[in-house]
């Protein structure tokens, strides 16, 4: 993009769902309205969908994420088929419903979810300042190994955020990415079991990233724990973070997935883990037991030692860490 095209694209992104007039675009860019039209035409030729309405102005049809721009950046173009929806109920729910007829590598990306879900059926807050995507997979593995998919995704996302935002993230077992002690990403893997083989028929990997804080702030119940990769939507847009992060994490995950059996990614998972060597609480339903996290295995299970000396290998469940 030229600098003028970047300015106009950014102005359209920041306008959200609202239209912005050609006159206003011309004024903020210091150009004529005919120059605005030429820049809009050039952006459309690059695959960016822009709506134009008489007496209203222009707006992006696609939101902050463009499936075409994400796909253009991909190295693993042969594997992924990307679809973008501006608002959905839940990317995982919709992709699970389409799984029987969809090919492996199908991706659904959205800028907002009305019924986002986390682990244990919890609500996953999904404001329009984030990215929410799901990937359909058909791994040849036992259902008990599905937690390793979540661990692989955690490494892929952590790498992507570190590279795009120039920061250093950490992983909280098993599915959260933290930045400066705040949760910026949650991951949920849901599998469909083949009754004939007892192995996974398919898995839907859901990833939700807080790219920037929501305009009205975080809901009170997560205000102490939620964080964002960028301090504002404007800064994220300036860095084209929405599209870059999508393509980067998809490529990272593909790199891991094609070599999945060797579990080499688990070394990086352990390096980024916040749990090992720390005092934690193991949470099972309403019960919480203090323990020390000793190690994380190649199957992404965590070995813990309770205060009474008893040890347990956890392949599911939840822990809390005092940072």
Residue 97 burial (10 A CB sphere; 0-12, 13-18, 19+): exposed
**Helix 33-45 vs helix 3-14: crossing angle, to nearest 10:** 90
Radius of gyration (C-alpha) of the chain in whole angstroms = 21
Q: What pTM did the predictor assign? A: 0.85
Domains present along the chain, CATH in parentheses: 3-60 (1.10.10.10), 67-272 (3.30.930.10), 279-321 (2.30.30.100)
CA gap 104, 81 in Å, rounded? 9
The token duo for 248 is 């980067």
From the list 72, 65, 73, the residue with the least C-alpha distance to 49 is 65
Q: For every one of its 323 residues, what pLDDT tens digit does the chain have, with 9 covering 90 and above?
A: 788 888 888 888 777 667 899 999 999 889 999 999 999 999 888 777 788 888 888 887 767 788 888 998 999 999 999 999 888 899 999 999 999 899 999 999 998 888 777 665 566 777 888 999 999 999 988 887 888 999 999 999 999 999 999 999 999 998 899 999 999 999 999 988 877 777 888 999 999 999 999 888 888 888 899 999 999 887 887 778 999 999 999 999 999 999 998 899 999 999 999 999 999 999 988 889 999 999 999 999 999 999 999 999 998 888 888 76
- The upper half-sphere exposure of residue 216, i.e. CA atoms within 13 Å in the direction of its Cβ, equals 6
Residues in CB range of 193: below 8 A, 6 or more apart: 143, 199, 200, 201
- The upper half-sphere exposure of residue 240, i.e. CA atoms within 13 Å in the direction of its Cβ, equals 12
The token duo for 189 is 């893997």
């Amino acid at each position: 993009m030229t600098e003028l095209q970047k300015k106009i694209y950014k102005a359209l992104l920041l306008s959200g769902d609202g239209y912005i007039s050609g006159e206003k675009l011309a004024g903020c860019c210091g150009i004529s309205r005919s120059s605005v039209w030429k820049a809009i035409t050039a952006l459309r030729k690059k695959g960016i969908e822009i709506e134009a309405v008489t007496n209203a102005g222009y707006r992006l049809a696609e939101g902050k994420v463009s499936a075409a721009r994400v796909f253009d950046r991909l190295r693993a173009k042969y594997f992924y088929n990307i679809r973008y929806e501006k608002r959905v109920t839940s990317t995982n729910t919709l992709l699970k419903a389409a799984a029987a007829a969809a090919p492996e590598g199908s991706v659904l990306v959205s800028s907002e979810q009305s019924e986002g879900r986390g682990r244990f059926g919890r609500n996953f807050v999904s404001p329009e300042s984030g990215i929410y995507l799901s990937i359909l997979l058909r791994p040849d593995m036992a259902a008990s190994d599905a937690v390793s998919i979540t661990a692989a995704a955690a490494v892929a996302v952590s790498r992507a955020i570190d590279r795009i935002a120039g920061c250093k993230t950490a992983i909280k077992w098993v599915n959260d990415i933290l930045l400066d002690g705040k949760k910026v990403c949650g991951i949920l893997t849901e599998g469909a079991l083949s009754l004939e083989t007892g192995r996974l028929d398919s898995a839907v990997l859901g990833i939700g990233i807080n790219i920037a804080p929501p305009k009205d702030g975080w809901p009170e119940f997560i205000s102490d724990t939620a964080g964002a990769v960028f301090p504002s939507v404007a800064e994220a847009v300036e860095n084209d973070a929405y599209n870059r992060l999508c393509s980067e994490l998809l490529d990272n995950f593909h790199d891991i997935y094609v070599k999945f059996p060797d579990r080499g990614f688990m070394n990086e998972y352990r390096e980024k883990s916040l749990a090992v060597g720390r005092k934690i609480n193991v949470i099972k339903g309403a019960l919480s037991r203090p323990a020390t996290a000793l190690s994380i295995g190649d199957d992404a299970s965590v070995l813990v030692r309770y205060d009474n000396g008893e040890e347990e290998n956890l392949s599911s469940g939840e822990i809390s860490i005092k940072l």
